[in-house]
Amino acid sequence: MSPLRTIGFGLSAVMILANAGFGNPVSEPLSRYSKQAALLVGELGHSSYRVREQATEQLKSLGAAAIPALRDVRDDPDLEIRYRARRLLEVLVILEQERALSQFEANVETAPGDALPGWKRYTDIVGSSATARKLFVKMHHAEPKLFRLLSSGGPAFSSEFKQRCKLLHAGRSRRALKKEWLGRMCAMLFIGSDHRLEESASEQTTIASRMHISHFRRYSRDRNAGSLLRKLLGTWIAKSNSECSPQKIQLAVKFDCPEGLVPALELCRRDTETKQLRYAVLTVARFGTEEDVPVLEKLFENANLFRVSRSKRDGTYACQVRDVALVAALHLTGQDPKEYGFRRLTRNPQYVFVPDSTGFYHARERQAALQKWAEWKASHPQLTELPRGDDVAPGEAATDVDSSE
């Protein structure tokens, strides 16, 4: 059989199906059309061109009922059958998705079913309100191909997501991006939070960078869409990826997403680079609870400096990682850090306290504060009983530095 005989469909298939209403009479049982489709797909490889074309046209007219049969032969050994089936599938799936979207928009009582992948997980995140439904439709309109691949997952799904991230990073189609920003970015957040998808650091960075633009701030303050957007952002933030934890923490505190606690605790357990660690600790102070105190206590041995200032009047002022960890622990246990000697402590609307205000003038003040914590903890046995996460290696011990010298 000669390969790739002339095939007269493409855009014409879209027009024919659209004019035909894309579907079958309600009175006809779907099984009848499915059986008919199963017979017709075999004729896609017939030796007669006229028979192949007739089979193609009839499969077009069957609409969604032909999709299962076409999927069964999309990898057929016969090149002609394979080619025609894949082209037909591409058109029919797109039209079925558009039909399902239109029906979904028009009837608030219906669930979208398999034609609109992602609905179940989406409602678990944001609910099924009228506003949530409208946003779901926007997401599908903005990224139809990604959603079509969502059900199957696999390499094609991952590849398409990577390609979308590259386009976002390159800043292509800025006018289109601006026009469909809400739907597109919500779709990228939702799909990016899928645990089957392994995002690279660069892909997460691309998405995170788009969250800082004015569109996000404007939509996040919207009375209807704002809470949904923050929930989708929070779900994406909570998906673990240590390489991008600092960026996710920054977004969490900026847009009040409690899910920022997840990457913050991850960084604290890793006892990572000092600059990142101080903000992770204060994010735990903002979103955490008393149960997270044992993670902070692991940092009481970390004497790495992140701020030193000197003045003739007051002497040398130093901030160490263990200082900010102690401040965070005091905040979570309802204690006043100033009673522990934090004289310069300053509040901050995002991180609870200004990191550079969590230090001491003398090493003896620091040691007195840590001793006072130990005494307070001994009188509160319920804190001692909290899980300590012993599977996590504690921070490396460091020798204290007397900043007064």
DSSP letter string, 170-226: HT-SHHHHHHTHHHHHHHHHHHHT-TT----HHHHHHHHHHTTSHHHHHHHT-TTHH
Query: Once rounded to an integer, what is the mean pLDDT over residues 365-379?
Result: 95
pLDDT at 400: 41
DSSP sequence for 279-327: HHHHHHHHH--GGGHHHHHGGGG---EEEEEEETTTEEEEEEHHHHHHH
Cβ contact 308:317 at 8 Å? yes
Taking all residues of the chain, what is their mean pLDDT, rounded to a whole number? 80
Asked whether the predicted pLDDT for residue 115 surpasses 70, the reply is no
State which of 111, 126, 143 marks the end of a domain: 111
Cβ contact 63:95 at 8 Å? yes
* pLDDT tens digits along 4-23: 333 333 333 333 333 333 33
End-to-end CA distance of the chain: 90
Same domain, 234 and 333: no
**Is the alpha carbon torsion for 94, 100, 104, 110 positive or negative?**
negative
pLDDT at 357: 94
Amino acid letter at 235?
Answer: T
pLDDT at 111: 65
Query: Once rounded to an integer, what is the mean pLDDT over residues 371-391?
Result: 73
More confident residue, 243 or 83: 83
Look at residue 189 and tell me if it is in a domain: yes
Asked whether the predicted pLDDT for residue 142 surpasses 80, the reply is yes
Look at residue 280 and tell me if it is in a domain: no
State which of 216, 239, 262 marks the end of a domain: 239
pLDDT at 387: 52
Least-confidence region, from 29-33, 68-72, 253-257, 289-293? 29-33
Same domain, 332 and 357: yes
Same domain, 331 and 376: yes
Domain count of the fold of the chain: 3
Asked whether the predicted pLDDT for residue 39 surpasses 90, the reply is no
Look at residue 250 and tell me if it is in a domain: no
Same domain, 312 and 205: no
Q: Tokens 């991006």 sit at which residue?
A: 177
Q: Per the structure block, which two tokens stand in for 3?
A: 């390969």
Length of the chain: 405
Asked whether the predicted pLDDT for residue 176 surpasses 80, the reply is no
Same domain, 107 and 164: no
More confident residue, 1 or 241: 241
Same domain, 102 and 122: no
Least-confidence region, from 5-9, 89-93, 219-223, 267-271? 5-9
- Greatest Cα pair distance, the chain, in angstroms, is 98
Asked whether the predicted pLDDT for residue 154 surpasses 80, the reply is yes
More confident residue, 180 or 125: 125
Same domain, 215 and 309: no
In Å, how far are 82, 121, 170, 190, 284 from 164, measured between CA atoms? 27, 21, 10, 14, 33
Same domain, 97 and 129: no
Same domain, 141 and 158: yes
CA separation for the pair 313, 73 (Å, rounded): 83
Q: Tokens 């850090």 sit at which residue?
A: 337
% of the chain residues with pLDDT over 70: 80
Look at residue 249 and tell me if it is in a domain: no
CA separation for the pair 279, 380 (Å, rounded): 27
* pLDDT tens digits along 283-336: 999 999 999 999 999 999 999 999 898 876 777 899 999 999 999 999 999 999
Domain that holds residue 84: 1-111
Look at residue 390 and tell me if it is in a domain: no
Asked whether the predicted pLDDT for residue 130 surpasses 80, the reply is yes
Same domain, 305 and 354: yes
Amino acid letter at 397?
Answer: A
Q: Tokens 């989708």 sit at which residue?
A: 232
State which of 213, 239, 265 marks the end of a domain: 239
Cβ contact 307:359 at 8 Å? yes
Asked whether the predicted pLDDT for residue 243 surpasses 90, the reply is no
Same domain, 87 and 121: no
10 Å Cβ neighbour count for 142? 21
Q: Tokens 């130990």 sit at which residue?
A: 374
% of the chain residues with pLDDT over 90: 36
Q: What is the pTM of this model?
A: 0.73
Asked whether the predicted pLDDT for residue 227 surpasses 80, the reply is yes
Same domain, 129 and 57: no
Least-confidence region, from 24-38, 279-293, 384-398? 384-398
Cβ contact 351:279 at 8 Å? yes
